[in-house]
């Protein structure tokens, strides 16, 4: 990992750097040990359906906090944090189409916007590394490979779509340990959803992920698939709300919560 | 346990007995090994706030399933089950006041009613017994003692109220094991929320519970407190929606899901 990544920074100081425009890069590796979160912001008119979609699909959509309608202040997972300024980069979608990026969304803010913070796999990847389980995309310095599956999410009102999974290759012995380790973190996607033959879940070529990058699969390794935080974003985009604001890929919200705070055992 | 309790009954057959009016008693002990659920039904106008209250207070309000607006059919946790007929007894509240009981709520049904099924401590009590941890109220054939605490729930819209806890006395060694065992079941209240001195959470006399019955605390035992499914009902009642329908105490919905299906490890 590059020397320039502030791995030992405190979350509140990191958010201040971001707020002041002094950090606009991805957040992978920053504030080591602190949980990062995906962001989806929707008008209140869509919020019930999205909250229900998350309740019905807790593995891809583990909610860490839902802010009040029109309230930009994070209250549970961070102190003195403003959801409009404290992420390094945002994406603005109109009617399901990407309409632009921004490093501050105060000009887009409305009194009816509801912000959803969703758990992120960065938390369990740290636990995997501590258990000497390889995380290939970190070894290879790229993004995790992600795939659309033929497993449908449970729909909720206007929201529907396929389960998107991330894949990490490892030995069978490592996979068993990885299942144990990630089971302790249901708030950050939890245990894998599938292991082995990708064809069975509608993935025809592991070398061509739908999102992220291809990673090397060594001889004898098996692919292990986790529910992915791209799932709720994909469902939001498929259902074309008039406005949606999300984090830009990799540019997450850094919380004050330790990863271990989300371990159930 | 009485010979007359159908402990080995299949859930679908049990629900049919209930639907046909052949069983109107509490469900404690029936369909051994299958998860039972608390029920709260609210008009859609209150559903977003209640769903958000549950998301913000997952230990007292672990949602197992939320039905669609006006849809009486359970889809996820049971097959061919009608939420209007398949519980042995219901309570009808109007503006926060108990207005009556019924063993069938078809006459109260409306197209805007949303049903919330919430995890129940019966599931983790079975796991405690299997670990030779005493469950005093089962030994003494009464209801678990429950107490209002001075710990506030996180409010959500119109819903607010204190955390209500259930208490089970045990030795310190048993308490340690009980923490491990119940941590595996976050969908049915999970790990205890407090252990030891009741004064610290605003409970002044363990011998006078706010709900349920007093149980014996043996010399050397410590009280162990779990978040309780009465919490969401108490919040609903405190906030006085024009209509709310719940299960009658102890008269739960029997699902097709095994208790072990809710264990994360």
What is the tens place of the pLDDT at every residue in A163-202? Answer: 999 999 999 999 999 999 999 999 899 999 999 999 999 9
Do A83 and A18 meet the contact criterion of CB atoms below 8 Å apart?
no
Nearest to B249 by CA among B214, B223, B213, B216: B213
Q: Taking CB atoms and an 8 Å limit, are A184 and B264 in contact across chains?
A: yes
B265/chain A closest Cα distance in angstroms: 6
What does the pLDDT average to over B224-242? Answer: 93
Do A24 and A88 meet the contact criterion of CB atoms below 8 Å apart?
yes
Alpha-carbon gap, residue A175 to A179, rounded angstroms: 6
A262: nearest CA in chain B?
Answer: B186
Q: What is the pLDDT of residue A218?
A: 98
A81-82 vs A73-74, strand pairing mode: antiparallel
Residues from chain B that touch A63, judged by Cβ atoms under 8 A, are 55
Residue B260 near chain A (CB below 8 Å):
no
Looking at the partner chain, which of A55, A154, A264 has a beta carbon nearest the beta carbon of B51?
A: A55
Q: What is the pLDDT of residue B84?
A: 98
H helix count then E strand count, chain A: 6, 13
Residue A184 near chain B (CB below 8 Å):
yes
- Taking only Cα atoms into account, the Rg of chain A, rounded to an integer number of angstroms, comes to 18
Alpha-carbon gap, residue B190 to A224, rounded angstroms: 27
Residues from chain A that touch B76, judged by Cβ atoms under 8 A, are 56, 154
Residues from chain B that touch A264, judged by Cβ atoms under 8 A, are 183-184, 186, 190-191, 264-265
Residues from chain B that touch A56, judged by Cβ atoms under 8 A, are 65-66, 76
For residue B262, name the pLDDT band (cuts at 50, 70, 90): very high
B230-B186-A180 Cα angle (round to 5): 170
Alpha-carbon gap, residue A197 to A200, rounded angstroms: 6
> How many interchain CB pairs under 8 A, A with B?
47
Q: What is the pLDDT of residue A17?
A: 96
What does the pLDDT average to over B195-212? Answer: 96
Q: What is the pLDDT of residue A4?
A: 75
Nearest to A144 by CA among A74, A193, A214: A214
DSSP B28-45: TTSSTTEEEEEEEEEEHH
Q: Taking CB atoms and an 8 Å limit, are A264 and B47 in contact across chains?
A: no
Residue B63 near chain A (CB below 8 Å):
yes
Residue B186 near chain A (CB below 8 Å):
yes
Mean pLDDT of chain B: 95
| Interface test with chain A among B49, B152, B265, by most A beta carbons within 10 Å | B265
Q: Taking CB atoms and an 8 Å limit, are B47 and A47 in contact across chains?
A: no
Give bridge partners of residue B30 from the DSSP assignment. Answer: none
Do B74 and B178 meet the contact criterion of CB atoms below 8 Å apart?
no
Q: What is the pLDDT of residue A230?
A: 92
Q: What is the pLDDT of residue B70?
A: 97
A264: nearest CA in chain B?
Answer: B183
Query: Does residue B3 surpass a pLDDT of 70?
Result: no
| Interface test with chain A among B44, B48, B261, by most A beta carbons within 10 Å | B48
Residue A158 near chain B (CB below 8 Å):
no
pLDDT digits (tens, 9 = 90+) for B49-87: 999 999 999 999 999 999 999 999 999 999 999 999 999
Looking at the partner chain, which of A63, A180, A186 has a beta carbon nearest the beta carbon of B186?
A: A186
Q: Taking CB atoms and an 8 Å limit, are B55 and A76 in contact across chains?
A: no
Residues from chain B that touch A180, judged by Cβ atoms under 8 A, are 265
Residue B160 burial (CB < 10 Å; 0-12/13-18/19+)?
middle
Residue A175 near chain B (CB below 8 Å):
no
A34-43 vs A244-247, strand pairing mode: antiparallel
Alpha-carbon gap, residue B247 to B250, rounded angstroms: 8
CA quadruple A173, A174, A178, A181: dihedral sign: positive
Phi, psi at A94, each rounded to 5°: -120, 125
Residue A183 near chain B (CB below 8 Å):
yes
B83/chain A closest Cα distance in angstroms: 18
Inter-CA distances, A65 with A62, A260, B125, B186, B190, Å: 9, 17, 29, 17, 19
Enter the tokens of residue B54.
Answer: 């549950």
A92/chain B closest Cα distance in angstroms: 25
Q: Taking CB atoms and an 8 Å limit, are B51 and A52 in contact across chains?
A: yes
Its ipTM equals: 0.90
- Taking only Cα atoms into account, the Rg of chain B, rounded to an integer number of angstroms, comes to 18
Q: What is the pLDDT of residue B1?
A: 40
Q: What is the pLDDT of residue A1?
A: 40
Alpha-carbon gap, residue B73 to A136, rounded angstroms: 44
> With a cut of 50, which residues of chain A have pLDDT below it?
1-3
Q: Taking CB atoms and an 8 Å limit, are A66 and B47 in contact across chains?
A: no
B90-94 vs A244-247, strand pairing mode: unpaired
């Amino acid at each position: 990992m590059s020397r320039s990544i502030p791995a030992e920074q405190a979350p509140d100081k990191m958010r201040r750097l971001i707020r002041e425009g002094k950090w606009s890069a991805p957040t992978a590796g920053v504030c080591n040990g602190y949980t990062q979160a995906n962001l989806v912001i929707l008008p209140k008119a869509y919020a019930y359906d999205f909250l229900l979609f998350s309740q019905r699909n807790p593995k891809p959509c583990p909610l860490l906090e839902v802010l009040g309608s029109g309230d930009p202040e994070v209250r549970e997972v961070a102190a003195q944090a403003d959801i409009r300024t404290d992420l390094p980069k945002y994406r603005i979608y109109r009617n399901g189409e990407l309409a632009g990026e921004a490093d501050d969304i105060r000009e887009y803010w409305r009194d009816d916007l509801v912000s959803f913070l969703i758990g992120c796999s960065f938390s369990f990847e740290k636990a995997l590394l501590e258990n000497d389980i390889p995380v290939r995309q970190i070894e290879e310095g790229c993004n995790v490979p992600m795939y659309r599956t033929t497993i449908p999410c449970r729909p909720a009102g206007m929201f529907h779509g396929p389960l998107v999974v991330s894949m990490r290759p490892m030995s069978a012995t490592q996979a068993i340990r990885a299942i144990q380790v990630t089971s302790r973190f249901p708030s950050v996607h939890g245990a894998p959803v599938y292991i082995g033959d990708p064809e069975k879940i509608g993935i025809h070529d592991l070398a061509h992920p739908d999102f992220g990058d291809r990673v090397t699969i060594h001889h004898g390794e098996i692919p292990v698939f986790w529910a992915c935080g791209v799932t709720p974003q994909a469902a939001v985009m498929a259902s074309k709300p008039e406005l949606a604001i999300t984090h830009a890929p990799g540019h997450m919200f850094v919380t004050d919560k330790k990863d271990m705070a989300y371990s159930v055992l």
